[in-house]
Chains A and B, each alone.
Chain A
Amino acid sequence: MRPLIIFVAAAITNNFILTYFLGLCPFLGVSARVSSAIGMGFAATFVMTMTAIITNLVDHLILRPLHLEFLQMIVFIFVIAVLVQFVEMVIKKTSPSLYKALGIFLPLITTNCIVLGLALLGAMRNYNLIENTFFGFGAGVGFTIALLLISGIREELEVRDVPKALKGAPITLIIAGLMAFAFMGFSGIISLQ
C-alpha cells in the first residue's frame, strides 16, 4: 500500500510544481502550447523515474556504506547529467521519431530543479528502492498533469484581454496560484509523514 500512497501523494496532494515549487522554469517556458507540454511531460517523467531508481541505488550501495552522505548533491547532479546524456543517445539510436519529439527537451531536464529535488527529497525521507521508484514516477505524472492543465489555459488566454502589465509570466503565476488553491483541496485525502 505504501508505494501507492507515495505515488498519489507525489502526483496530486504534494504536487511538485504547485506545493514544492520545483520545475517552474519549464512551467513558465514550455507551457504555452499543449503539444510541447506533452513532450516535456513525458520526457521528464521518464528521466525522473530513471533518476529515482539510480540515485537510490547509488545512495544505498555506495554513499551510505562509505559514509559519504555529504557528497550526495554533487554525485546526484553528475548521475543526472550522465543519465540524461545516456537516455538521449539511446533514444536517438533506437527511435528517431521519439527523439525528434523529445530531443530538444532532454538537455533542459538536466538543469531542472525538479529532478535533483526529487533525488534529494527521496534520500532525505529514506525511501527504499520500490518507494523511491513510485515517488519518482508519481512526481513525473504530477508534473505532466500540472503542465498540461496550465498549457490548455494559456492557449485559451492568448485570445483573451489580459491587463498589459500582467501579460506573460505574471498571469501564468496567478493561474498557478489558483491551481495551487484547487490542489490544496486534495490535501486531506492522503497524509504522508
Chain B
Amino acid sequence: MAQNSRKPGYELVKGFFKENPVLVQLLGICSVLAVSNTVVNSISMGVSVLFVLFFSSLVIGLIKDLIPNEVRIPAYIVVIATFVTVADLFLKAKFPDISKALGAYIPLIVVNCIILARQEAFTKKNKLLPSILDAIGMGTGYIITILLMGIIREILGFGSIFGVKIFGSWFKPILVMILPPGAFLTLAMLIGFMNFITRKSEEKKL
C-alpha cells in the first residue's frame, strides 16, 4: 500500500499546491467563482469550507466502519449538512453582513464537491490521523486559491484591499472583474498558470 507508507506531513502539504483541490482537481469551482469578489468574502468562505471539511472528516473517520457501504453517501451528506448548518447559523448570528453577502453559497457547501470527494477518495480508505491532515491540507489549499482570486479581483475591480483604497484617484476600477465574467477569466488564468508551472517542473525531471 503506497498510501500508508507516505509520511503524515505529506498528507498535509499535498493539498496546498501539488494536489490543490480547486486548481488541480477542479473541485468546488462554483463557490470559488461566486464569492471571491472581495478579500473579506473570500476569507469567510474559505474558513467555512475548512471548518466543514475538518469536522466532516473527523466524524466520518470515526464512524465509517459503522456505516453500511450501500448507504454511505446519504450518511456522509447528513454529517456534512449538519456542520454546514452549524457554520451557516454561526455566521448568521455573529456576522450578519457577511452571511448576507455570501447568501445561498454557505448552505451550498453541502454539495461542494471537495468535501464529498475527499470523504470518498481519502477518509473512506485511510486511518483517522491521515484523514484529518488531508482535510486540513485540502481546506488550506482551497483558502489559498479563493484568497488569491479575492485579492486579484478586489484590487482590479475596486482598487482596494480589505475595503481600503490602495491607489490614488487616478485609478479607474475595472468593473468587469467583480462581475461574473471577471471571475471566469481570473480562474482560467490561475489554472492555466498552474498547468504551466506543473509542465515546466515535469520537463525538468525528464
State the A residues within 8 Å of B (CB): 18-25, 28, 70, 72-74, 77-78, 81, 111-113, 116-117, 120-121, 124, 163-167, 169-174, 176-178, 180-181, 184
Specify which of A74, A171, A184 lies most central, judged by the most chain B CB atoms within 10 Å of its CB. A74
Specify which of A21, A23, A112, A167 lies most central, judged by the most chain B CB atoms within 10 Å of its CB. A21
Contacts known (A21-B34, A25-B113, A116-B110); A176 close to B104, Cβ less than 8 A: no
The answer to whether B180 and A18 have CB atoms under 8 Å apart is yes
The answer to whether B74 and A73 have CB atoms under 8 Å apart is no
A116 to B89 alpha-carbon distance, docked (Å): 18
Specify which of A81, A111, A113, A167 lies most central, judged by the most chain B CB atoms within 10 Å of its CB. A113
State the B residues within 8 Å of A (CB): 26, 29-31, 33-34, 74, 77-78, 81-82, 84-85, 88-89, 103-104, 107-108, 110-113, 116, 176, 179-185, 187-189, 191-193, 195-196, 199
The answer to whether B184 and A177 have CB atoms under 8 Å apart is yes
Apart from A170-B188, A171-B188, list 19 A-B contacts with CB within 8 A: A22-B30, A24-B29, A70-B85, A73-B81, A73-B84, A73-B88, A74-B85, A77-B81, A111-B113, A113-B30, A113-B112, A116-B108, A120-B104, A121-B104, A163-B192, A164-B199, A170-B189, A174-B184, A180-B181
The residue in chain A whose Cβ has the minimal distance to the Cβ of B23 is A169
